[in-house]
Amino acid sequence: MVKVRMNTADVAAEVKCLRRLIGMRCSNVYDLSPKTYVFKLMNSSGVTESGESEKVLLLMESGVRLHTTAYVRDKSNTPSGFTLKLRKHIRTRRLEDVRQLGYDRV
């Protein structure tokens, strides 16, 4: 049976995985659909200890899923108004915390 949505246990497990992203900066936001967004995160110095740039794509689909991905997906040619607002307010901001509020799927 194919899983359609994440449950609270899935969210808790993903939160533990995403904690490694704390301290990274959001370099851009892309919309794939009206409810699906990709956040491009980079470590604050721009390079890892080995000298390579560390970039992570965080995919969020409202009410369905949240995870990192290695696949670059087709972005819309013109970003939506909401995406432009997200870019304005969170571009260059640092990810300070990743947590689950109680047992909510927030």
Tell me the average pLDDT across 43-71. Answer: 82
Q: How far apart are CA 78 and CA 93, in angstroms?
A: 23
Question: Are 28 and 98 contacting, i.e. CB atoms less than 8 angstroms apart?
Answer: no
Tell me the average pLDDT across 19-33. Answer: 94
Radius of gyration of the chain (CA): 14
Task: Tell me the whole-structure pTM to 2 decimals.
Answer: 0.85
| pLDDT above 60: residue 46 | no
Tokens of 17: 């995985």
Share of the chain above pLDDT 70, in %: 89
Distant-in-sequence, close-in-space partners of 63: CB < 8 Å, separation ≥ 6: 5, 35, 105
Q: Tell me the pLDDT of the chain averaged across its residues.
A: 88
Q: Which residue has the tokens 């609270």?
A: 8
